[in-house]
Amino acid sequence: MTVAMIIGITGQDGLYMAELLSKKEYSIVGVVRDISKAKKIIPEVIKKRLKLVEWDMLDQSKIVEVLNDNRPKELYNFAAYSSGAGMFDDAVNIGDVNGLAVTRVLDAVRAVDTKIRFCQASSSEMFGEVAQSPQNELTEFSPRSPYGAAKVYAHSMIDVYRKKYGLFLCSAILFNHESPRRGHQFVTRKISYEAAKIKLGLSTELLLGDLDSYRDWGFAGDYVRGMWQMLQQKKADDYVFATGLVYSVRNLCEIAFSHLDLDYRDYVVSDSKSYRPPEKFQLVGDSSKARSELNWLPEMNFKSLISLMVDNDLENLMRHNNKNNMSDNK
Protein backbone atom coordinates (compact mmCIF):
# COMPACT_ATOMS: atom_id res chain seq x y z
CA MET A 1 0.00 0.00 0.00
CA THR A 2 1.35 3.42 -0.98
CA VAL A 3 2.01 5.75 1.95
CA ALA A 4 1.51 9.48 1.41
CA MET A 5 2.19 12.20 3.96
CA ILE A 6 0.22 15.44 3.95
CA ILE A 7 1.64 18.42 5.83
CA GLY A 8 -1.22 20.74 6.74
CA ILE A 9 -3.97 18.17 6.26
CA THR A 10 -6.64 20.19 8.08
CA GLY A 11 -6.61 23.06 5.59
CA GLN A 12 -8.69 23.34 2.44
CA ASP A 13 -6.14 21.74 0.11
CA GLY A 14 -5.00 19.15 2.65
CA LEU A 15 -8.53 17.84 3.13
CA TYR A 16 -9.21 17.61 -0.60
CA MET A 17 -5.91 15.80 -1.12
CA ALA A 18 -6.72 13.39 1.71
CA GLU A 19 -10.10 12.63 0.11
CA LEU A 20 -8.46 12.02 -3.26
CA LEU A 21 -5.78 9.72 -1.85
CA SER A 22 -8.31 7.88 0.28
CA LYS A 23 -10.32 7.03 -2.85
CA LYS A 24 -7.10 5.75 -4.42
CA GLU A 25 -6.58 3.52 -1.36
CA TYR A 26 -3.44 5.20 -0.10
CA SER A 27 -2.36 4.93 3.50
CA ILE A 28 -2.30 8.57 4.65
CA VAL A 29 -0.16 10.19 7.32
CA GLY A 30 -1.51 13.59 8.29
CA VAL A 31 0.97 15.96 9.88
CA VAL A 32 -0.61 18.50 12.24
CA ARG A 33 0.27 20.80 15.11
CA ASP A 34 -2.54 19.52 17.38
CA ILE A 35 -4.06 16.05 16.94
CA SER A 36 -7.09 16.69 19.16
CA LYS A 37 -8.09 19.76 17.12
CA ALA A 38 -7.42 17.96 13.83
CA LYS A 39 -9.78 15.12 14.75
CA LYS A 40 -12.65 17.60 15.03
CA ILE A 41 -12.04 18.91 11.51
CA ILE A 42 -11.25 15.79 9.48
CA PRO A 43 -14.29 13.94 8.00
CA GLU A 44 -14.90 10.37 9.17
CA VAL A 45 -14.48 8.95 5.66
CA ILE A 46 -10.85 10.11 5.65
CA LYS A 47 -10.06 8.87 9.17
CA LYS A 48 -10.43 5.24 8.08
CA ARG A 49 -7.18 5.42 6.12
CA LEU A 50 -5.48 8.08 8.22
CA LYS A 51 -2.79 8.27 10.86
CA LEU A 52 -2.28 11.63 12.54
CA VAL A 53 1.17 12.75 13.68
CA GLU A 54 2.23 15.92 15.45
CA TRP A 55 5.32 17.85 14.44
CA ASP A 56 6.73 21.33 14.50
CA MET A 57 7.76 22.81 11.14
CA LEU A 58 10.57 24.63 12.95
CA ASP A 59 12.02 21.50 14.60
CA GLN A 60 14.46 19.85 12.20
CA SER A 61 15.08 16.73 14.34
CA LYS A 62 11.33 16.11 14.73
CA ILE A 63 10.80 16.37 10.97
CA VAL A 64 13.53 13.80 10.37
CA GLU A 65 12.06 11.54 13.07
CA VAL A 66 8.54 11.63 11.60
CA LEU A 67 9.75 10.96 8.06
CA ASN A 68 11.95 8.12 9.28
CA ASP A 69 9.11 6.52 11.27
CA ASN A 70 6.54 6.68 8.45
CA ARG A 71 8.61 6.43 5.24
CA PRO A 72 6.14 7.99 2.80
CA LYS A 73 6.49 7.51 -0.93
CA GLU A 74 4.77 10.83 -1.59
CA LEU A 75 4.92 14.01 0.48
CA TYR A 76 2.63 17.02 -0.01
CA ASN A 77 3.23 20.32 1.76
CA PHE A 78 0.23 22.61 2.30
CA ALA A 79 1.42 24.16 5.55
CA ALA A 80 1.66 27.94 5.29
CA TYR A 81 0.51 31.18 6.81
CA SER A 82 -2.58 32.49 5.09
CA SER A 83 -2.46 34.40 1.82
CA GLY A 84 -5.69 36.26 2.58
CA ALA A 85 -5.99 39.45 4.57
CA GLY A 86 -3.06 38.43 6.76
CA MET A 87 -0.39 38.46 4.04
CA PHE A 88 1.49 41.32 5.72
CA ASP A 89 1.03 40.19 9.33
CA ASP A 90 3.98 38.72 11.25
CA ALA A 91 6.48 38.80 8.40
CA VAL A 92 9.21 36.98 10.36
CA ASN A 93 7.08 33.92 11.09
CA ILE A 94 5.66 33.96 7.57
CA GLY A 95 9.22 33.79 6.24
CA ASP A 96 10.08 30.94 8.59
CA VAL A 97 7.01 28.73 8.03
CA ASN A 98 6.33 29.49 4.34
CA GLY A 99 9.98 29.64 3.33
CA LEU A 100 12.72 28.30 5.58
CA ALA A 101 10.63 25.43 6.95
CA VAL A 102 10.34 24.01 3.44
CA THR A 103 14.13 23.80 3.30
CA ARG A 104 14.06 21.89 6.59
CA VAL A 105 11.71 19.36 4.99
CA LEU A 106 13.94 19.07 1.92
CA ASP A 107 16.95 18.42 4.14
CA ALA A 108 14.97 15.77 6.01
CA VAL A 109 14.01 14.07 2.73
CA ARG A 110 17.66 14.06 1.70
CA ALA A 111 18.68 12.54 5.05
CA VAL A 112 15.93 9.92 5.35
CA ASP A 113 15.06 8.71 1.84
CA THR A 114 16.06 10.35 -1.44
CA LYS A 115 13.31 8.41 -3.23
CA ILE A 116 10.51 10.36 -1.52
CA ARG A 117 8.52 12.39 -4.06
CA PHE A 118 7.74 15.87 -2.76
CA CYS A 119 5.20 18.44 -3.93
CA GLN A 120 5.15 22.03 -2.67
CA ALA A 121 2.02 24.17 -2.85
CA SER A 122 3.44 27.34 -4.38
CA SER A 123 1.36 30.39 -5.17
CA SER A 124 0.52 32.91 -7.87
CA GLU A 125 1.33 35.54 -5.24
CA MET A 126 4.97 34.88 -6.19
CA PHE A 127 4.35 36.80 -9.44
CA GLY A 128 3.25 39.94 -7.59
CA GLU A 129 3.79 42.99 -9.78
CA VAL A 130 3.73 41.11 -13.04
CA ALA A 131 5.04 42.61 -16.26
CA GLN A 132 2.99 40.34 -18.53
CA SER A 133 -0.23 38.39 -18.67
CA PRO A 134 -0.97 35.54 -18.58
CA GLN A 135 1.71 34.04 -16.32
CA ASN A 136 3.36 30.67 -16.83
CA GLU A 137 6.29 28.69 -15.38
CA LEU A 138 8.82 31.02 -17.02
CA THR A 139 7.30 34.31 -15.87
CA GLU A 140 9.60 36.35 -13.63
CA PHE A 141 8.67 36.58 -9.95
CA SER A 142 8.20 39.99 -8.36
CA PRO A 143 6.42 39.41 -5.02
CA ARG A 144 4.79 42.34 -3.25
CA SER A 145 4.12 40.76 0.16
CA PRO A 146 6.02 38.75 2.82
CA TYR A 147 3.80 35.80 1.89
CA GLY A 148 4.75 35.96 -1.77
CA ALA A 149 8.45 36.50 -1.00
CA ALA A 150 8.56 33.49 1.34
CA LYS A 151 6.89 31.34 -1.30
CA VAL A 152 9.48 32.44 -3.85
CA TYR A 153 12.27 31.38 -1.48
CA ALA A 154 10.72 27.92 -1.00
CA HIS A 155 10.13 27.58 -4.74
CA SER A 156 13.77 28.51 -5.44
CA MET A 157 15.13 26.04 -2.88
CA ILE A 158 13.14 23.24 -4.49
CA ASP A 159 14.84 24.01 -7.79
CA VAL A 160 18.26 24.17 -6.06
CA TYR A 161 17.84 20.84 -4.26
CA ARG A 162 16.39 19.16 -7.34
CA LYS A 163 19.40 20.11 -9.43
CA LYS A 164 22.06 19.63 -6.73
CA TYR A 165 20.88 16.36 -5.20
CA GLY A 166 18.70 14.81 -7.91
CA LEU A 167 15.64 14.66 -5.66
CA PHE A 168 12.10 14.30 -7.03
CA LEU A 169 10.82 17.72 -6.02
CA CYS A 170 7.97 19.67 -7.62
CA SER A 171 6.30 23.04 -7.17
CA ALA A 172 2.65 23.51 -8.06
CA ILE A 173 2.12 27.20 -8.80
CA LEU A 174 -1.50 27.48 -7.74
CA PHE A 175 -3.66 30.39 -8.77
CA ASN A 176 -6.63 31.31 -6.57
CA HIS A 177 -8.53 28.14 -5.76
CA GLU A 178 -11.69 28.10 -3.70
CA SER A 179 -14.24 25.76 -2.14
CA PRO A 180 -16.75 25.55 0.72
CA ARG A 181 -13.69 24.84 2.89
CA ARG A 182 -12.09 28.20 2.12
CA GLY A 183 -11.39 30.42 5.13
CA HIS A 184 -13.62 33.40 5.83
CA GLN A 185 -10.69 35.80 5.36
CA PHE A 186 -10.80 35.15 1.61
CA VAL A 187 -13.14 37.28 -0.48
CA THR A 188 -14.90 34.35 -2.18
CA ARG A 189 -15.94 32.80 1.13
CA LYS A 190 -16.74 36.17 2.66
CA ILE A 191 -19.19 36.83 -0.15
CA SER A 192 -20.79 33.37 -0.18
CA TYR A 193 -21.20 33.41 3.61
CA GLU A 194 -22.58 36.93 3.88
CA ALA A 195 -24.95 36.39 0.95
CA ALA A 196 -26.37 33.34 2.76
CA LYS A 197 -26.71 35.35 5.99
CA ILE A 198 -28.57 38.11 4.16
CA LYS A 199 -30.89 35.55 2.58
CA LEU A 200 -31.76 34.23 6.03
CA GLY A 201 -32.25 37.70 7.49
CA LEU A 202 -29.14 37.44 9.67
CA SER A 203 -27.40 40.40 8.01
CA THR A 204 -28.35 43.40 5.93
CA GLU A 205 -25.20 44.45 4.05
CA LEU A 206 -21.80 43.33 2.85
CA LEU A 207 -18.77 45.64 2.91
CA LEU A 208 -16.22 45.00 0.16
CA GLY A 209 -13.27 46.76 -1.43
CA ASP A 210 -12.78 47.19 -5.17
CA LEU A 211 -15.57 45.37 -6.96
CA ASP A 212 -13.69 45.64 -10.24
CA SER A 213 -10.64 43.70 -9.06
CA TYR A 214 -10.17 40.61 -11.25
CA ARG A 215 -8.79 37.17 -10.40
CA ASP A 216 -8.34 33.72 -11.92
CA TRP A 217 -10.47 31.55 -9.60
CA GLY A 218 -10.73 27.75 -9.75
CA PHE A 219 -11.91 24.83 -7.62
CA ALA A 220 -9.47 23.51 -5.00
CA GLY A 221 -10.40 19.88 -5.71
CA ASP A 222 -9.27 20.27 -9.32
CA TYR A 223 -5.94 21.75 -8.27
CA VAL A 224 -4.98 19.04 -5.74
CA ARG A 225 -5.75 16.46 -8.43
CA GLY A 226 -3.14 18.20 -10.55
CA MET A 227 -0.63 18.02 -7.72
CA TRP A 228 -1.16 14.28 -7.41
CA GLN A 229 -0.65 13.93 -11.16
CA MET A 230 2.68 15.76 -10.86
CA LEU A 231 4.09 13.09 -8.55
CA GLN A 232 3.08 10.29 -10.91
CA GLN A 233 5.38 11.52 -13.69
CA LYS A 234 8.79 10.11 -14.61
CA LYS A 235 10.48 13.50 -14.20
CA ALA A 236 10.04 16.10 -11.47
CA ASP A 237 8.99 19.51 -12.72
CA ASP A 238 6.99 22.63 -11.85
CA TYR A 239 3.52 23.41 -13.19
CA VAL A 240 1.06 26.29 -13.15
CA PHE A 241 -2.52 25.36 -12.27
CA ALA A 242 -5.14 27.91 -13.30
CA THR A 243 -8.33 28.25 -15.30
CA GLY A 244 -6.98 30.96 -17.62
CA LEU A 245 -10.22 32.91 -17.09
CA VAL A 246 -10.71 36.02 -14.97
CA TYR A 247 -13.78 37.28 -13.14
CA SER A 248 -14.28 40.41 -11.09
CA VAL A 249 -15.42 40.63 -7.50
CA ARG A 250 -18.56 42.19 -8.97
CA ASN A 251 -19.11 39.08 -11.11
CA LEU A 252 -18.66 36.98 -7.98
CA CYS A 253 -21.25 39.00 -6.08
CA GLU A 254 -23.72 38.85 -8.95
CA ILE A 255 -23.49 35.05 -9.16
CA ALA A 256 -23.64 34.50 -5.39
CA PHE A 257 -26.62 36.76 -4.75
CA SER A 258 -28.57 35.83 -7.87
CA HIS A 259 -28.23 32.17 -6.87
CA LEU A 260 -30.32 33.16 -3.84
CA ASP A 261 -32.74 35.24 -5.93
CA LEU A 262 -31.23 38.47 -4.60
CA ASP A 263 -29.77 41.53 -6.32
CA TYR A 264 -26.28 42.20 -4.97
CA ARG A 265 -26.68 45.93 -5.66
CA ASP A 266 -29.24 46.11 -2.83
CA TYR A 267 -26.79 44.81 -0.25
CA VAL A 268 -23.14 45.26 -1.27
CA VAL A 269 -21.45 48.43 -0.07
CA SER A 270 -18.06 49.44 -1.44
CA ASP A 271 -15.57 50.18 1.34
CA SER A 272 -12.77 52.49 0.16
CA LYS A 273 -10.56 51.44 3.11
CA SER A 274 -10.27 47.93 1.63
CA TYR A 275 -9.13 49.08 -1.82
CA ARG A 276 -5.83 47.80 -3.19
CA PRO A 277 -3.73 49.87 -5.60
CA PRO A 278 -4.74 49.18 -9.23
CA GLU A 279 -2.75 46.47 -10.99
CA LYS A 280 -1.04 47.14 -14.29
CA PHE A 281 -1.38 43.52 -15.41
CA GLN A 282 -3.88 40.91 -14.33
CA LEU A 283 -2.91 37.78 -12.41
CA VAL A 284 -4.18 35.08 -14.73
CA GLY A 285 -2.56 31.70 -15.22
CA ASP A 286 -1.40 29.92 -18.34
CA SER A 287 -1.70 26.21 -17.47
CA SER A 288 -1.00 24.93 -20.97
CA LYS A 289 2.02 22.95 -19.73
CA ALA A 290 -0.08 21.05 -17.18
CA ARG A 291 -2.80 20.51 -19.75
CA SER A 292 -0.43 19.09 -22.35
CA GLU A 293 1.99 17.11 -20.15
CA LEU A 294 -0.37 15.96 -17.36
CA ASN A 295 -3.63 15.92 -19.33
CA TRP A 296 -4.99 18.11 -16.53
CA LEU A 297 -8.12 20.16 -16.96
CA PRO A 298 -10.22 22.08 -14.41
CA GLU A 299 -13.59 20.35 -14.20
CA MET A 300 -15.68 22.86 -12.22
CA ASN A 301 -16.55 26.22 -13.76
CA PHE A 302 -16.72 29.50 -11.86
CA LYS A 303 -20.49 29.76 -11.61
CA SER A 304 -20.84 26.21 -10.32
CA LEU A 305 -18.07 26.83 -7.79
CA ILE A 306 -19.65 29.97 -6.32
CA SER A 307 -23.08 28.32 -6.28
CA LEU A 308 -21.60 25.34 -4.43
CA MET A 309 -20.07 27.63 -1.81
CA VAL A 310 -23.30 29.59 -1.33
CA ASP A 311 -25.37 26.41 -0.96
CA ASN A 312 -22.94 25.03 1.61
CA ASP A 313 -22.97 28.22 3.68
CA LEU A 314 -26.76 28.45 3.49
CA GLU A 315 -27.15 24.84 4.63
CA ASN A 316 -24.71 25.25 7.52
CA LEU A 317 -26.32 28.48 8.71
CA MET A 318 -29.80 26.94 8.58
CA ARG A 319 -28.59 23.90 10.52
CA HIS A 320 -26.96 26.13 13.13
CA ASN A 321 -30.10 28.25 13.47
CA ASN A 322 -32.29 25.16 13.85
CA LYS A 323 -30.04 23.86 16.63
CA ASN A 324 -30.23 27.20 18.43
CA ASN A 325 -34.02 27.29 18.10
CA MET A 326 -34.32 23.77 19.49
CA SER A 327 -32.12 24.72 22.44
CA ASP A 328 -34.21 27.84 23.13
CA ASN A 329 -37.41 25.77 23.14
CA LYS A 330 -36.16 23.26 25.69
Instruction: Write out pLDDT tens, residues 182-239.
Output: 999 999 999 999 999 999 999 999 999 999 999 999 999 999 999 999 999 999 999 9
- Nearest 5°: the CA angle 328, 190, 181 is 80
Instruction: Output the pLDDT for position 322.
Output: 73
- Nearest 5°: the CA angle 63, 115, 175 is 75
Residue 278's pLDDT band (cuts 50, 70, 90): low
- Average of pLDDT values for 134-141? 97
Within the chain, all domains assigned CATH 3.90.25.10 are found at: 187-215+245-283+300-329
Instruction: Output the pLDDT for position 326.
Output: 56
Which among 123, 192, 213, 287 is annotated as catalytic?
Answer: 123
Which among 74, 125, 178, 194 is annotated as catalytic?
Answer: 125
pTM for the predicted model, two decimal places = 0.93
When the pLDDT of each residue in the chain is averaged and rounded to a whole number, the result is 93
What superfamily would CATH give domain 187-215+245-283+300-329?
A: UDP-galactose 4-epimerase, domain 1 (3.90.25.10)
Instruction: Output the pLDDT for position 118.
Output: 98
Whether 239 sits among the annotated catalytic residues: the reply is no
Is the pLDDT at 275 greater than 90, yes or no?
A: no
Whether 76 sits among the annotated catalytic residues: the reply is no
Instruction: Output the pLDDT for position 250.
Output: 97
Cα 197 to Cα 203, 211, 251, 318: the distances in Å are 5, 20, 19, 9
Instruction: Note the CATH architecture for domain 3-178+217-241.
Output: 3-Layer(aba) Sandwich (3.40)
Instruction: Output the pLDDT for position 149.
Output: 95
Within the chain, all domains assigned CATH 3.40.50.720 are found at: 3-178+217-241
Instruction: Output the pLDDT for position 228.
Output: 98
CA distance 287 to 35: 36
Whether 147 sits among the annotated catalytic residues: the reply is yes
Which among 26, 76, 147, 239 is annotated as catalytic?
Answer: 147
Radius of gyration of the chain from Cα atoms? Answer: 20
